[in-house]
Chain A
Amino acid sequence: MKRIKSPQELEKLRKEIQAERDPNKSCIAICAGTGCLALGSDKIIAAFKKEIKKQGVDTAVTTIRETGCPGFCEQGPIVVIYPEEICYLRVTVKDVPEILSKTVVNKEVIERLVYKDPASGERIVKDSEIPFYRKQKRYVIGNNINIDPKSLEDYIATGGYAALAKVLNGMSPESVIEEIIKANLRGRGGGGFPAGWKWEATRKAKGEPKYLICNADEGDPGAFMDRALLEGSPHSVLEGMIIGAYAIGCGQGYIYVRNEYPLAVENATLALEKARSLGLLGDDILGSGFNFDIKINRGGGAFVCGESSALFASIEGRTGEPRAKYVHATDRGLYDKPTDLNNVETWANVPLIINKGADWYRTIGTENSKGTKIFALVGKINNTGLVEVPMGITLREIIYDIGGGIPHGRKFKAVQTGGPSGGCIPEQFLDMTVDFDELAKIGSMMGSGGMIVMDDHNCMVDVARYFLKFLEEESCGKCTPCREGVYQMRMILDKITEGKGTMEDLDTIEWMGQAIIDGSLCALGGTAPNPVLSTLKYFRHEYEAHIKDKKCPAGVCKALITYTIDPEKCTGCDVCARVCPTDAATGKKKEVYTIDQEKCIKCGACIEGCNFDAVIVS
C-alpha cells in the first residue's frame, strides 16, 4: 500500500477497502490464536484450503480468515461462518468437508457442531447468543474474530486508526490527556493507576527524550488476555500507543513482550512494519509532522520483569532486578528519562475512548472503575476462556452465567483473582461487584485479570503453597524479605501440608506476612504473602484441620490421605487397575478391587478413571 499523508487520505483508503468488500460474501473465520493452535486449528485451516480447491469453491465468493482468539477457549478450535454468524465449536479436520459443502455453500447448519446448552439441551447457532458471550461487553477484544491480525486492511476496514486520525486532525495533546483522564481509564496491568495522570505527569516532567512502553510481560499463571490482544489485534495496541505518544510528546516507544509469546512477537513485529510503510508510524505520521516509532524488546520471561523498574533494567540490557522507586518512572524511568508505562489492555482501550468519547466510556462500569476488564477465567469452571465484562459485574455472574458454573456439579469453594499475589475469595463474596476498589477491600486485587476458580476438591493450604512456590522461584533475590522470607514461608506451608505443622506456625506466617509486605523492595515481595494471608483469613479451618486433625479436608495433601475402594460401589470393572501407574490397584474382574497402600503414590488416576465413585479419599 502507498504511504498515506493525511487523516483524509486514511478515510479515503478505508472507504476503498470497505467498498471492495462484499458483506454478503462468505467468510470462514478460524481462530489461529495460541489456544486453538494448540488444539490443532492450523490443521483445520490447511484442511479448509485444501477442501476449497477440491470442492471447487469459488475463492472470489468465499474467503478464509485466520483470526486472533475470540475467547471461548474451552470449546476450541472455533470456526465462525459469516455473514450468517454460524459458530462451530470443537471443530476437527474431519468436519471440514461437511462444513464447506453444507454450511458455506448451502447455508445449512450442522447441528452437532453448534453450542448445546448443558442445562436445556437447546442448540444455539450464533456466537453472540451463546450464554458465554451474551453477558459480556466485548468492546476491546471483540474485534479479534473480525480481523486477521496480520492484515492492516482488515483493521482499517473495521474502523482502525480512526482514533489516531481524529487525534491528529485537530486535537491538542492536552485535550487528548483530558479525555483519558475524564474517561478515568485505570491501568489494566494490576495497579489500577489512572493512565491519564501518568500521561500528564510524563508530559510535564523535565528531561528529554521521553519514553513510552507497552508492558506485555504478562506472567501470571493462567492469565493470557494480553497475549490474546497482542496476537489478535496488534494494531489496536499500536494505535493506543501512537495516540499516547502524541499526547505525552514522546518519540520512541517499546513493546516489552516475553519471548514465550512467539505469535504475539510475530504479529506485533509485522504490524509495526505495515504501520510504518503506510505512514502510521515513523516520521511525519499522517502528514502531521509528529514522529514516533516503536521497538520490540523481547524479555526472557522472568515474572519480575513485569515490575516497572525491573522492566527498565531489562530493556537497558541489565539484569531484570527492581530498584527502589522513591522517584516515579514518569520523572526518571527508562535510561533515567521520563517514562510512561502502560499495560497492553490499557493501550487497547485508548482508541475506543477517543472514538466513542469519554462520556460514553464513563457510562460503563462503577463509580471509580470505568469501562470493561478482560478476565482469564480458568480452573474449575465449565467455560474456560477470556471474558470481557463491564466493571461492576458480580463474581457470581462471571462464574455462573458466563462461566457456566463448576464442572461435575461440584461445590464452589473460592476464586483467586489478581494472579499469584492476589487473594482467594470465598463464597460469601460471590455477589460482590468486581472493580479495582471492591477487590482490594476484601484482601485480593484486580491484578492483570487472572481468575482461577476452585471447587471443594482444592485444598486451600495447597493452593497457597503453590502460589508461594511460584513467587519463590520468580523472586529476583535482591532483597532479604522476599528472597528468604517467601522461601521460609513456603517451607512452613510444606510442613503443614505434611501434617507436621503447629499452631505457632500459623502465628509465625501471619507475622511474617505483614513484615514481608512492609519490608520488600518491590511489589512482587510486597504482595507475595497475599495468597497465604487471604486463605488464612477465610479458610483458617482448613489450616487447622491439617495441623490438629492431621487431615486434608479436600483430599489433596498426599501425606495426609489414603486411597481405598468402597466395596459397595466397586463393580470390578478393572479401570483403576489399568490406569494405576504403580500397580497398586489390583483385583479380579467383577469382584471388589483393593489398593495396596505401600505401592500407592496417591496420584489420583484411579479417581479420575472410576465411573462409579468407588475410590474413597480419606
Chain B
Amino acid sequence: MAEMVTLTIDGRTISAPAGTTILEAAKDANIYIPNLCNNEELTPYGSCRLCMVEITHKGRTRIVAACIYEVVDGLEVNVNTERVLNVRKLVIELLLARNNEHPALRKIADELGVKETRFPVEKKGCILCGQCVRTCREVVGVSAIGFSGRGITRRIAAPFMDFPPDCIACGSCVYVCPVNFIPMREENGVRTIIRFDFPMQQCKKCGKYFAPKKQLEYFSKTTGLPLDHFENCIDCR
C-alpha cells in the first residue's frame, strides 16, 4: 500500500497515494481537468499543455502540467486560475488551427468559452499528441511509427515516410487517436491503414477475415505458439 499524501485541489482536501499525478488524483476526486495527450495506459508525456494547473508548494507558486506532476503532501492545486485559463485558451486555439472540426476539440473549446480560433486554420488534422506513437511502442511493443521533423514541421511518420515494415496492422493507433485522424478500412480481405494495405487471415473454419496476418505472426512470435494455432477466428477456436 502506497503512502498517502494530503493535498487540496480548488480548496477541496484530497488524499491520494504518493506517486500519483495531479491529473489522476483529480480524476479520482471527480475534478475535471481537460487533457488530450494523456492516456492512463501510457507513460505521461506532457505535450498538449491543456492540463496546466497552478500549484503552490512551500510558498512557491507556479504552473505545471497536471499529467506529469506527482502529488506531495501539502500541495495546493488550483485548476482554473486566470493564468492557467489563458494557457488553455491559447492551446485550444492553436489546436483548432490544426483541426477546427473534431468534436473532442470543439467540446474543450466550448468549455473554455472559445468560439473560433483567431489563427488561420490550416486543417492539418493531427494534433501531435503522440498517443499513437506511445501506444505502438509501449502497449503493442513494435514502435512502427514515430515522430519526424521538428518544430512546426513535426509529424507522425513511419521510417522514410514509406511502408512501415514493423507495423502489424493491429489498429491500436487508430483506436487511441483522440481526433480520429488515422483512417482504417477493411475490404476483400485487406485492411488498409492510411494508404498501406495489409492482408487479413481467413478463418479456416468459418471463412471470415478476422485479423491481419502480420498481427497473428507477431502473436505467434511473442507467445511462442505455432502459427497454425492462430488460423481460426476466436469464435471457431
- Looking across the interface, which residue of chain B has its beta carbon closest to that of A304? B150
Are B70 and A519 in contact, CB atoms less than 8 angstroms apart?
A: no
CA A324 – CA B66 in complex, angstroms?
11
Task: Encode A463-479 as 1/0 by CB contact (under 8 A) with B.
Answer: 00000000011111111
Distance to closest chain A CB from B185 (angstroms):
29
Distance to closest chain A CB from B133 (angstroms):
11
CA A481 – CA B154 in complex, angstroms?
14
Are A484 and B87 in contact, CB atoms less than 8 angstroms apart?
A: no
Are A483 and B65 in contact, CB atoms less than 8 angstroms apart?
A: no
Is the interface on chain A under 10, 10 to 19, 20 to 34, or 35 or more residues?
20 to 34
Distance to closest chain B CB from A121 (angstroms):
51
Distance to closest chain A CB from B237 (angstroms):
40
A477 and B147 in contact (CB under 8 A), knowing A472-B152, A508-B118, A521-B46? yes
CA A67 – CA B128 in complex, angstroms?
49
CA A76 – CA B118 in complex, angstroms?
51
Are A483 and B46 in contact, CB atoms less than 8 angstroms apart?
A: no
Are B154 and A323 in contact, CB atoms less than 8 angstroms apart?
A: no
Select which of B90, B97, B119, B128 is within 8 A of A516 by beta carbon. B90
Number of B residues near A (Cβ < 8 Å) is 36
Select which of A477, A484, A520 is within 8 A of B97 by beta carbon. A484
Distance to closest chain B CB from A265 (angstroms):
23
A515 at the interface (CB under 8 A from B): yes
Are B63 and A518 in contact, CB atoms less than 8 angstroms apart?
A: yes
Are A515 and B98 in contact, CB atoms less than 8 angstroms apart?
A: no
Specify which chain A residues have a CB less than 8 angstroms from the CB of B87 in the assembled complex.
Answer: 481, 515, 518-519
Distance to closest chain B CB from A521 (angstroms):
6
B168 at the interface (CB under 8 A from A): no
Are B151 and A479 in contact, CB atoms less than 8 angstroms apart?
A: no
Specify which chain A residues have a CB less than 8 angstroms from the CB of B149 in the assembled complex.
Answer: 477
CA A516 – CA B63 in complex, angstroms?
12
Specify which chain B residues have a CB less than 8 angstroms from the CB of A474 in the assembled complex.
Answer: 150-151
Select which of A304, A319, A323, A480 is within 8 A of B94 by beta carbon. A480
Are A324 and B90 in contact, CB atoms less than 8 angstroms apart?
A: no
A488 and B49 in contact (CB under 8 A), knowing A326-B70, A477-B128, A515-B90? no
Specify which chain A residues have a CB less than 8 angstroms from the CB of B48 in the assembled complex.
Answer: 479-480
- Looking across the interface, which residue of chain B has its beta carbon closest to that of A515? B90
Q: Which of A453-497 contact B (CB under 8 A)?
A: 472-481, 483-488, 491
B175 at the interface (CB under 8 A from A): no
Distance to closest chain B CB from A528 (angstroms):
11
Task: Encode B65-78 as 1/0 by CB contact (under 8 A) with A.
Answer: 10011100000000
Q: Which residues of B contact A (CB under 8 A)?
A: 46-50, 52, 63-65, 68-70, 83-84, 86-87, 89-91, 94-95, 97-98, 118-120, 127-128, 130, 147, 149-154
Q: Which residues of A contact B (CB under 8 A)?
A: 302, 304, 319, 323-324, 326, 472-481, 483-488, 491, 508, 511-512, 514-516, 518-521
Nearest 8 CB-CB pairings of A with B = A477-B154, A519-B87, A484-B94, A515-B90, A475-B151, A487-B152, A324-B68, A324-B46
